[in-house]
Chain A
Amino acid sequence: AQTVTQSQPEMSVQEAETVTLSCTYDTSESNYYLFWYKQPPSRQMILVIRQEAYKQQNATENRFSVNFQKAAKSFSLKISDSQLGDTAMYFCASGNTPLVFGKGTRLSVIA
């Protein structure tokens, strides 16, 4: 069975600083996808970044980037220049169909 572990239940960061959220996963599949989703208080899950496991290059989306270590099954999210609007729950997810989600990390950006 696939598992996704997010070891940091809560984190905080000062506005404009950089923060890294950790995620490890376990899968027996050879081809799979990895995602980070953001869930603000509105409850709507919003895709932050997506990585295809067969691609060695780390995905980036503006201020968001990942450090994908396939051998270690690690997929961390780095948020640069943190903004107040980044305050939310962040979920790591892996797999094909279905996606398996971690328990989330609550990120607070402090002014």
Chain B
Amino acid sequence: EAGVAQSPRYKIIEKRQSVAFWCNPISGHATLYWYQQILGQGPKLLIQFQNNGVVDDSQLPKDRFSAERLKGVDSTLKIQPAKLEDSAVYLCASSRRPNEKLFFGSGTQLSVL
């Protein structure tokens, strides 16, 4: 069974630039999550999708962050414009259903200079 795929693995940008991350969950997993992990902290949920609908985006800074999962499979997370405090690892995870075991990707490490 293939795991959760994420790209790119690393990204360095300057503040005020835009950036996008891509995630392909495990086949058949209806639930997809984007987490932000700042250095020294645990992951924080940004957004959760159930198929192509948003279940929870209460902690997503909507003035600069956006995410979509148009066909209920892969997903993109975008930041525009980026700020220094957005430097973090962005983790994508998926599960068959909510509350079941989460499978994580290897994350994208973003550095905003």
Interface, chain A (partner B; CB < 8 A)? 4, 33, 37, 42-47, 50, 91, 93, 96-104
Contact = CB atoms under 8 A, between A and B. Distances in A.
B80 to A, nearest CB: 24
Contacts of A45: 43, 91, 93, 102, 104
Given A47-B101, A99-B102, 11 more contacts: A43-B89, A43-B91, A44-B105, A45-B102, A47-B102, A96-B98, A97-B55, A98-B56, A100-B45, A101-B42, A103-B41
B52 interface: no
A96 B99 contact: yes
Nearest to A6: B42
A44 B107 contact: yes
B109 A97 contact: no
B42, B43, B48 interface centre (most CB from chain A within 10 Å): B42
B101 A98 contact: no
Interface residues of B, number: 22
A42 to B, nearest CB: 6
B41, B43, B102 interface centre (most CB from chain A within 10 Å): B43
B21 interface: no
A4 B43 CA distance: 12
B106 A42 contact: yes
A44 B42 contact: no
B42 A4 contact: yes
B44 interface: yes
B43 A101 contact: yes
Interface string B72-113: 000000000000000001010100001101101111010000
Contacts of A91: 42-43
A16 B104 CA distance: 28
Contacts of A37: 104
